[in-house]
Structure 1
Amino acid sequence: MRLLFILVGVCLLAAGWILSDTGTDNPGYDSSLLSATEAHADSFVGAWGKQDAQLLAEEYEDDAVSILNNLALPVQGKNGLVEHFVAAFSDASPMKGSTLEVETLKSTDLGGGWSYGDGTFRLISADAEVLEDGKWGNIAKSTAGRLKLVQESAHVVIKETDVLAPPEGDKALDGVAAITITDTEFLAHMDRFKKAWASNDAEALTDEFTEDADRIIGSSPDAIRGRSAILQSFKETFGEGSRFAGTSIDTTPLGFREIGENHIAAHGTWMIKSSDGAVIARGQWGNLFRRENGTVKMLMESAGAFVFKE
């Protein structure tokens, strides 16, 4: 199943842009983005049909990162992507002969050739079995009129019966250290978010998102859009009977990239702990941030939990 999650995340953005919402009601509408989207989709689909790992890797920037819920750490760069595609197309892979259904729900131009979007996916095996359902929230860049993927973050929808607590002796994140970040506004945001979570303060957490923010998270079957819905989602997170009530969160940033003057793409790992310090869930995040009046806030959160097999 590990290959399944690898490939889902790797192919989601490329396939997803095919159906990008580029209508005039889209606040980020740009006809040039549509043209680049179509060219990228055609190129990706052609490479996928050939099951050519190298061709598929060419659909990514050299330093692209892929953040997938069922990997402990991100896939880094073209070489890493090629290795995963080669494995995914092997005869032993459950992905061989599978198909992917993708719907893009949002596609927005950030300016300077950058864009971001989100949507849903369904993975179907060669035997017509639904293997996975999930969501993606990703960032791309247009270079010489062609879109390439920069940061993708894809996660399956978590079910109540899924096992999220690591087994005893789990050492997957041992030795993983945060990168050095000197952006004080970003660091202040991370600190506020952590403190608000420790207080289970839904209002304070919501304040760390922009007015037009989206939460693309594994614990929700649908995208959560706007502060009102985001506030409600956090109230449910800490509500009576929730596995996350009374918890704290640790986040470790592993990547940081400026996007123009006002945006940041960053990714890393997260770990949620119970009141007695036990880890009850861990996973990855690949988010987009916006600077507003000297303050960094989340524009898109795309995060998911690692699901352990019983």
Structure 2
Amino acid sequence: MKFEPLRCRCATLFSVLTMMAFGWLPILGDFSVGKAEEKAATVEESPLYVFRFIEVAPGNVANWKQAVKDKQLKFNTGKDAAQWGTWRILTGPRANQFARGFRTTRELYTNPVHPVQGIAASWEMPEANHWLEHISPLQESSGNTQIWRPIEGLFSHGITGWGQPRFSQHRRWRMKPGMYQRLEANYKKLIATFDHLQQPVNFSIARLEDGGDFMIYAETLAYNDTADMPSVGRVRQAFIELHGEGEWVKYLQEHNAVMQENAIVETETWMYEPDLSNLTAVPGSELAKAKVQEHIDRVVAAFKKQDIEALMGEFVDGSIRSVSMSSGPAQGNKAVKKSLMQSFKGDATPDNSTLVGNILDARFIDSDTILAHGNFTVTNEKGDVIRSGKWGDVLRMEDGNAKFLLQSAYAERLDSMVPPNFSVSEATDQQQQSADFKSINRSIQRFTDAYNRADVTALTDEFTEDAVRVVSGLSGVHVGHDAIRNSFESKWSGEVDITSGSVLKARVLHTTPINSSLVGGAGIWWLTSSDGKVLDGGYWGNVFRKHGDEVKLLLECAGSQSMVD
């Protein structure tokens, strides 16, 4: 039996919370869910949530669920397998149907890591064909696909832990054309109220991107126990406490002003089916920043003592270290230890020097790995700045601690620096034959070729849409295509720009896998004038996202060699 949809012929002032069995898209109730790939941050490209709705006859439900479970076990148990979520819809217009979906981005929906989760997915793919042969016959219908986009900044996270919320409730309705700015500004007050409540619930806002009327917005309330849901009265009280007397009525009036007259309001409750899903819980950015800060604190303490063994404890086996105060990128325990010793050799870092590291952004790119970037300053015993610069790292969780998988940090160019003097070993023949090495090498070649012909469009295209450019010698950090495009119009190290006729060259020395969709790499670069004079040179340690057989930059972190006189 299907329940009739709840339909309100108009939105009254009280409707916004009397309907607070919110919660469209349960996956939106927890941003820390499995993805079709890896956000990655304020840096991460806006996610999309893709759902299809499946109707199963009551007599076939048990068999359908078992068939989906079997399919999950066959295709979706590995760490790098495509991730799917399944929900049973308990109430509302689609009561007793199932929703099945995944998280992706615009770029990845077009160029998916797992083709079965792409816009051009075909039933000929083994995973899809298995569904067609073994599961589809048990279904009465599989409805239209819907794609939802969460609204940036309109999310309150109150549930602790990393798992999927057990229940989600939604309320969806139509906005008047041209009202999205007012709507989203008004919702910020309600988001702040949920933050103020500090209840174990998640609350978020999303907009329908495809599969229906794009004027539809949805509110999502995700929770694990109905006892956790705040009452209407408690939400009203918290709103007034936070925003002041009279603001609650103004909020409701504004909500109705942006809502279509005679708008149909629908609510549904969904229940997560863990046995039919394999969504990996990915912690949020707050935990990522906390773990990176703990790591920085340990590094700072060891740096102060110039304790090489303690610093070595902050690297996982096989990690890469690429920093300006060394003779070149290093990979593996022995080489990393030598690189650390070079950073303290002679007067490079005087005794009792102090390192300060600041985090600009940090996010989990999978359940075990963090991508982060920031800046640093080193001062001597008198407080004078010895060097400062930027860093962009990949950190792996090991025994509860974040440790370097790829350290990439470079000082700003100083007058005391000597011309680059590389002392590096070329990649072995075995390394050069790996698919990752070849794809990174092609990307680096395309990058340098584009730079040398001053092709800013081609340079920008070597980055993913959500990429970050962290380059010492350039002012600031550049996030997204527009900012990255503008960065190539800035002068390098204050003296050379892309149109000066300078020639950029680079080589790949090391690579390391990060996960199924990301790979890290490190190498050297040097810049010469048109007559061959070396102007600058240094190292790079980057993160690349796979696109079929090719890769694009998700994080570029590079800088000059800083071996001082």
Equivalent of residue 198 in structure 1, options 449, 452, 455 = 452
Q: Cα 1:277–1:64, aligned 2, differ >3 Å: closer, same or farther?
A: same
For 1:180, which of 419, 428, 432 is the aligned residue?
A: 432
Segments of structure 2 that go 5 or more residues without pairing to the other structure are 1-40, 43-151, 156-281
* Structure-2 residue corresponding to 1:67: 322
TM-score by length of 2: 0.44
The amino acid of 1:195's aligned partner reads D
Q: Which has the higher strand share?
A: 1
Match of 1:233 among 484, 487, 499: 487
Once structures 1 and 2 are overlaid, which stretch shifts more, 45-54 or 287-296?
45-54
Larger radius of gyration: 2
Shift in Å, 1:104 = 0.6
Partner of residue 273, structure 1:
528
SS in 2 for 1:236: coil
Q: Name the residue aligned to 1:213.
A: 467
Query: Which of these residues, 141, 151, 159, is aligned with residue 396 of structure 2?
Result: 141
Q: Percent of aligned positions with the same letter in both sequences?
A: 26
Taking the aligned partners of 2:418 and 2:294, their CA distance within structure 1 comes to 39
Q: Is the 8 A contact 1:112 1:260 kept in 2?
A: no
Q: CA deviation at 1:180?
A: 0.4
Q: Any residues of structure 2 matched to 1:16-165 within 5 Å, and which?
A: 29-30=284-285, 33=288, 36-37=291-292, 39-41=294-296, 43-44=298-299, 47-48=302-303, 51-83=306-338, 94-158=349-413, 165=419
The answer to whether the Cα contact below 8 Å between 1:72 and 1:284 also exists between their aligned partners in 2 is: no
Q: For the structure 1 residues 60 and 199, does the alpha-carbon distance in structure 2 shift closer, same or farther, using more than 3 Å as the test?
A: same
* Aligned-pair CA distance for 1:164: 7.1
Instruction: Give the match for residue 555 of structure 2.
Output: 300
Q: Which has the higher contact order (CA 8 A, sep 6+)?
A: 1
Deviation per CA, 1:76-99: give whole Å up to 9, x if none.
433344456567678977431121
Secondary structure of the residue aligned to 1:73 is coil
Give the drift of 1:249. 2.0
- 1-structure distance, mates of 2:424, 2:397: 37
TM-score, normalising length: structure 1: 0.77
Query: 1:51 deviation in Å?
Result: 4.6
1:107 deviates by 0.5
Q: What is the CA RMSD across the aligned residues, in angstroms? A: 3.5
- The count of residues paired between Structure 1 and Structure 2 equals 283
Give the whole-Å Cα distance in 2 for the aligned partners of 1:292 and 1:83: 35
Structure 1, unpaired ranges of 5+: 1-19
Alpha-carbon spacing, 1:162–1:243, altered in 2? closer, same or farther (3 Å): farther
Task: Give the 3-state SS of the residue equivalent to 2:481 in structure 1.
Answer: helix
The 3 A distance-change label for structure 1 pair 190 and 92 is closer
Aligned equivalents of 2:293, 2:327: Cα separation in 1: 32
Q: Give the CA deviation at 1:31.
A: 5.7
